[in-house]
Structure 1
Amino acid sequence: MKLARIGAPGAERPVVSGADGTWRELAPLLGGADLTPATLATALAATDTDALPEVSGAPERFGPPLAAIGKIVCIGLNYRQHAAETGAEVPGEPIVFLKTPDTVVGPDDEVLIPRASVRTDYEVELAVVIGREARYLPDAASAAACVAGYAVSNDVSEREFQLERGGQWDKGKNCETFNPLGPWLLTADEVPDPQALGLRLWVNGELRQDGGTHDMIFGVHEIVRYLSHFMTLRPGDVINTGTPAGVALGSPDTPYLRPGDVMEVEIDGLGRQRQTLGKA
């Protein structure tokens, strides 16, 4: 099952698509509410959506698949080849940082390059959406039970702000529009093995990233288990699980993003994004 939100920014409405691929209005099932952490469990429990009204015409715009996200937890240097390209040691434990929920935009919305930025970079990532509270999980099986589903994320980063301005990585990760998410949330039952997904990203039609989640240092369920020992994960929280090799940071000959560039991002089964770069 795919869960999504369509419509103009700030006026999105929830929709659902089942086996037949038809998008249907989800609000009647949610009591007229949006798809949020508070209504996510109801949406996930839906077993018969065929009676819901069909969306008239093609969806005009996909927004982020979830509204009112609680927190976004990110994992750095989580692909072996990405660590190698940046000259970093393979971490012994997950590297953790946070993005604020207000960085999230729709999958095809404009991404703004910050003022004075010369090193804005791209990162295709598998996003994990939490479906039930996770606290001190004992093993991977209990972690898997807490996953609601998966989505495409682009963890846009400003490398100078992140690495050369002192303090935390957060400076280069939380600029406005720096987390396109969607187009939809694919429920966990539709992804039998999250470690067998291909991830790709193009800039101006040139393939820059072409990797697979099999290259993760810490797998999806281990990340969820691990994080639950440091923070409580709640329904609607999002985890960006790291990026494969191919980022501009890892290749001196690869240009960073500039206004007018176009990013296209996809993950097997999770849909495709397209963003044009603008100026903040």
Structure 2
Amino acid sequence: MYSILVADDERWIRKGIIKMIDAENLKIKEIYEADSITAALHEFQLHKPDIILSDVIFPAENGCDFCEQVFSIKPETRIVMISAFDNFEFARRSIKYQAVDYLLKPVSKEQLNQVICQCIEQIKKQGIKDKNAFSQFLKTESQESDDKKENQMETEKTSEEQIETIMKRMKSNLTEKYTLTELAAECCLSEVYFSSLFKKVSSMSPMNYLAHIRIEKACELISSTNWRMVKIAKQVGYSDYQYFTKVFKKEIGKTPGEYKETIRKEFEND
């Protein structure tokens, strides 16, 4: 459904134009009218009609100026200028602001409805164009979003592979000194993101994982050697024996000595 604004300073002409419009067949739902450019601009801003049928000459006002104002506010509006004067300058200015036609009075019913039909066809085409443009926009946005997700997944996959490499190195080099800052920098990641990904891969934070594999190796050495606890502590990366004992108890629930005694009793019982 469409709407039309008829602007002419002479009432009988306005009413005549409105009467000629085949509103039902053209699916015109609303027809507004104005007797001056000021009133026409007010009606336009209030209702934003799809089509404007406007006289060119008004007392102290110019229909082409109105056409220019309409174009600046809603350029997709279809405008038809109607004049009693075959004036090239008026016609040229009308075309400049995308007027669909420049009709000379008197206008026939057939001529009027034909140009309104032309306006409607242009509106429909513009609607399809806008719809296609919007669909293309959505398609592009969706593609960009998919590409972004794919790139993010690839980046995350690469980072996870780097973390797995670091985990292997930590396991084979327990005595090396590791810091969260250095490990994150190695993967070119922030400490927070590195810790998050590390936890995703290992179910532990980087430092908890390091403590876990060190104590795991310490348990293995306690069970398979007669080394002194201080030597075992250094072998798994702890130069401070007291700290080693603290971490060991936190991980196992027993001190290294208590754990060794438990292992000895298990052997004796076997």
TM-score range relative to shorter protein:
under 0.3
- Give the TM-score normalised by the residue count of structure 1: 0.21
- Give the TM-score normalised by the residue count of structure 2: 0.21
> Does 1 or 2 have the higher relative contact order (CA < 8 Å, sep 6+)?
1
User: Which has the larger Rg?
Assistant: 2
Q: Greater strand percent: which structure?
A: 1
Q: Greater helix percent: which structure?
A: 2
